[in-house]
């Protein structure tokens, strides 16, 4: 893909993912134009100190909300690629403000799809989560619905060029609101809280997540859900790395939380293929040709990609090295 001829827009572009994606785009791919679309003027101001939008820069900052269809249509004019990362993602906040979660994560997804098709955007990739698989909380349910909208939304594109896909991955080490900053804060008090010592999670860095998104955009045909092959971590291993001297208080699994996460369910496995670095969940609808991904290998029957069954685990050394690379206080 000739990124230097592409105009790219990122919704939720001031978040942890958006900042890293912007860094990678500027360092490695040099797009013709890179639009940061978000609703927080303070975060845009802070990001502007790092990535200036001077006349010689491809970066532009747009204030806007994915709930506002008209603003999206204005922002998408002349855009070739959209990365949809805007979402309400804190599980407790979504549980307490369910209508707001629906407005941003579901209605916002519909608005992005409609505006992209109407404005002739060529490729749209939405960022999803392992919480969307067999969801047990509202956040996961809204992201599952958003995934379905992006997959099925290709039917609305018809003969137009717009193609829509999703990428689904696990917990991002050090992202805002994640357990790593929490443990580092609690460490100063001499104890950390763990919901359940058996808990496992898929884990990757924000760099790996952003790089994966770039690869998916370059490969997508439309309708796929891309799942990276990433390692699993037990929560107690993270405690040993971040706060080895601290006492551990077990507080029990919180409402809407799972003991283990799943990124490809057994039902999805029937139309999932495997490549060296990822799994690809193919759509099962007649508008999608079967010629795509012929070089990939179908997964075995009964396959499930779950954090407690994942053969790829982080060692303590690898986990420590991963944490040391983070830009954390």
Select from 71, 67, 58, 69 the least CA-distant residue to 29: 58
CB environment 90-121: b (16+ within 10 A), e (fewer): ebeebeeeeeebbbbbbbbbbbbbebbbebeb
Q: Is the dihedral of CA 296, 297, 301, 304 positive or negative?
A: negative
- Phi/psi for 299 (5° steps) reads -75, 160
Query: Left, alpha or beta for 269 (phi > 0: left; psi -120 to 50: alpha)?
Result: alpha
43, 131, 143, 282: the active-site residue: 131
Q: 200, 234 in Cβ contact below 8 A?
A: yes
Torsion of CA 88, 89, 90, 96, to 10 degrees: 50
Is 32 marked active-site? Answer: no
Q: Known catalytic residues?
A: 131
């Amino acid at each position: 893909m000739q990124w230097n001829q592409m105009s790219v827009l990122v919704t939720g572009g001031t978040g942890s993912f958006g900042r890293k994606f912007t860094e990678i785009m500027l360092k490695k791919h040099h797009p013709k134009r890179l639009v940061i679309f978000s609703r927080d003027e303070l975060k845009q101001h802070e990001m502007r100190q790092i990535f200036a939008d001077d006349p010689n820069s491809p970066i532009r900052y747009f204030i806007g909300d994915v709930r506002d269809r008209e603003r999206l249509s204005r922002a998408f004019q002349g855009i070739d690629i959209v990365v949809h990362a805007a979402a309400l993602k804190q599980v407790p906040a979504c549980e307490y403000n369910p209508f707001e979660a629906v407005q941003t994560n579901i209605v916002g997804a519909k608005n992005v799809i409609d505006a992209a098709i109407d404005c002739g955007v060529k490729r749209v990739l939405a960022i999803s989560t392992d919480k969307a698989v067999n969801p047990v909380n509202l956040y996961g349910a809204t992201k599952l619905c958003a995934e379905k909208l992006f997959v099925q939304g290709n039917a609305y594109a018809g003969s137009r060029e717009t193609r829509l896909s999703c990428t689904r991955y696990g917990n991002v080490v050090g992202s805002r609101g994640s357990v790593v900053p929490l443990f580092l804060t609690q460490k100063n008090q001499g104890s950390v809280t763990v919901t359940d010592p058996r808990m496992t999670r898929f884990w990757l860095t924000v760099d790996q997540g952003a790089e994966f998104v770039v690869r998916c955009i370059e490969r997508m045909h439309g309708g796929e859900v891309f799942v990276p092959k990433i390692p699993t971590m037990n929560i107690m291993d993270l405690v040993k790395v971040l706060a080895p001297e601290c006492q551990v208080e077990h507080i029990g699994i919180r409402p809407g939380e799972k003991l283990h996460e799943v990124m490809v369910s057994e039902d999805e496995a029937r139309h999932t293929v495997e490549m060296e670095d990822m799994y690809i969940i193919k759509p099962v609808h007649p508008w999608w040709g079967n010629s795509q991904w012929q070089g990939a290998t179908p997964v075995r029957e009964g396959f499930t990609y779950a954090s407690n069954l994942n053969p790829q685990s982080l060692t303590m050394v690898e986990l420590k090295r991963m944490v040391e690379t983070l830009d954390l206080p």
